[in-house]
Amino acid sequence: MTGTGTTTVEAAVAGTAPRDAVARVERLHRGRRIRFAAVCLGLALVALAALLLSLAVGDIDVPLPDVWAVLTGGGDPGSRFVVHELRLPRALLALVVGCCFGLSGAVFQALLRNPLASPDVIGVTSGAGAAAVLSSMAFGLSGLALSGGALVGALAAGTLIYLLAWRGGVGRFVLIGIGVGTGLVSLRSYLMTRAEVTEAQNAFLWLTGSLNGRSWTQLWPLLGCVAVLLPLTLAASRGLGALQLGDEAAAGLGARVERSRLALLACATALVGVGTAAAGPIGFVAFVCPPVARRLLPGHGAALVPSALTGAALVCLADFVAQHLLPHTQLPVGVVTSIVGAPYLLWLLARANRVGRGG
C-alpha cells in the first residue's frame, strides 16, 4: 500500500508540473498582449492629442469644445472654415504620412536586420526626390503629377536595388542601397545646379519635407493608397518573423523566402513612395520611429503597428513645433525631424564603433 501511495503522489506531482508550465506561458502571453495594447493605446492618444493641438492653436486660436463641435458636424461658420478647410487636411496628412514612414521603416529594419536600413539611408527616398526634381525641372510637372513622379521614382529605386542585390543577402542589399542612394543624390544635385534660382528654391523646399499649403487635394489620394497598402503590408508581415531568423532558417521552417521578402519590400517601398509624394522626403521619421517602438515593447519583434503610431505622433508634433514654437519663423517639418533624428544617427554610429559591429 505504501508503495502504491508513493507512486500515486509522484504521478500527481508529475502531472501538475506541465500544467504549471502551461499556466506560466499563458500568463506571459497575456501580459505581452496587455502591454502591446496599452502601448498602442498610449501612442494613439498621443497622436490624437497632437491632432487636436494642431487644430486648436494658430494665428486664430479655436477652443477645444469648438474644435470638437466642428469635427462632429457643428460649430459656427468661422470655426468650420479655420478647422475644416485650413487645419484639418494638414494635420491628417501629417498623421497619415508619419504612419507610412514609421511602418515602412519598421519593415525595412526588421527585414534587413539592421538599424541603419531605413528608406532614408538605402536610397528609396532619394529615388523619390530625384524623380520629383526631374519631373519638375525637365517636364514642368506640379501638383498631383509631381507627386506621381515621386512615387514612380521611389518604386524604380527600390526595384533597381532589389535587382542588383538579388540573392546577395541582406548585407549586400544595404550596401547597394547606400550606393544607389548616393548616385541619385548626385543626380538630384546636378539637376538643381542647372535650374533657375526660383525652381531650385522650390525644389529645395520640397526636398526638405514640408506640409505647407497641403489641402484635401493631396490628402484624398494618399488615404486611398494607404487604405490598400496598410492591410497588404500587415498581411505580408506574417512571414516576417521567420525571415528575421535568416534565409536558411526561414526556408527550413517552410517560408517562401524570396516571395515573402519581395512582397514586404514592395509594400514598404510603396508606403515610402506615397508618403514622399504627399509631403516630400521628411527625414529620419522612418529611421527613428521603429527603435522607439521596439524599446517600448521589448521582445515584440518588428513592432509594426506601434512604429506606425509613433510615426504619426512624431510628424504631427514636429509640424506643430515647426509652425508655432519657433520665434518669428515657420520651418518645414523635415527640419524639425532632422534635428531629432541626426543626433540619434550619430549616437548609433558611435555605439556601433564601440561594440565593433555595424548594426
Could you tell me if residue 282 is left (phi over 0), alpha (psi between -120 and 50 degrees) or otherwise beta? beta
**Does some domain include residue 39?**
no
**Does some domain include residue 46?**
no
**Does some domain include residue 97?**
yes
Report the domain count for the chain.
1
Longest pairwise C-alpha distance within the chain: 102
**How many Å apart are CA 108 and CA 243, to the nearest integer?**
12
**Does some domain include residue 180?**
yes
Question: Residue 293's closest CA among 106, 98, 33?
Answer: 106
Secondary structure (DSSP) of 220-278 = HHHHHHHHHHHHHHHHHGGGHHHHTT-HHHHHHTT--HHHHHHHHHHHHHHHHHHHHHH
Q: Which domain holds residue 317?
A: 87-326
**How many Å apart are CA 161 and CA 159, to the nearest integer?**
5
pTM of the predicted model, to two decimals?
A: 0.87
Cβ atoms of residues 93 and 278 within 8 Å: yes
For residue 1, the model assigns a pLDDT of 46
For residue 253, the model assigns a pLDDT of 67
Per-residue pLDDT of the chain (359 residues; tens, 9 = 90+): 455 555 554 554 455 666 676 677 677 778 788 889 999 999 999 999 999 999 999 888 899 999 999 988 888 888 999 999 989 999 999 999 999 999 999 999 988 888 878 898 888 999 998 998 888 887 877 777 888 888 899 999 999 988 888 766 666 888 888 899 999 999 888 888 887 877 777 788 788 888 888 889 889 999 999 999 999 999 988 888 777 777 667 777 677 777 888 889 899 999 999 999 889 899 899 999 999 998 888 877 788 999 999 999 999 999 999 988 777 778 889 889 988 888 877 777 677 655 544 44
What is the CATH number for 99? 1.10.3470.10
**Does some domain include residue 356?**
no
Question: Residue 257's closest CA among 174, 170, 154, 177?
Answer: 170
Cβ atoms of residues 131 and 150 within 8 Å: yes
Task: Count the alpha carbons within 13 Å of 312 in the hemisphere toward its beta carbon.
Answer: 24
Residues across the chain: 359
C-alpha cell of 306?
506601434
Question: Residue 230's closest CA among 96, 45, 93, 90?
Answer: 96
**Does some domain include residue 166?**
yes
C-alpha cell of 94?
501629417
**Does some domain include residue 338?**
no
**Does some domain include residue 160?**
yes
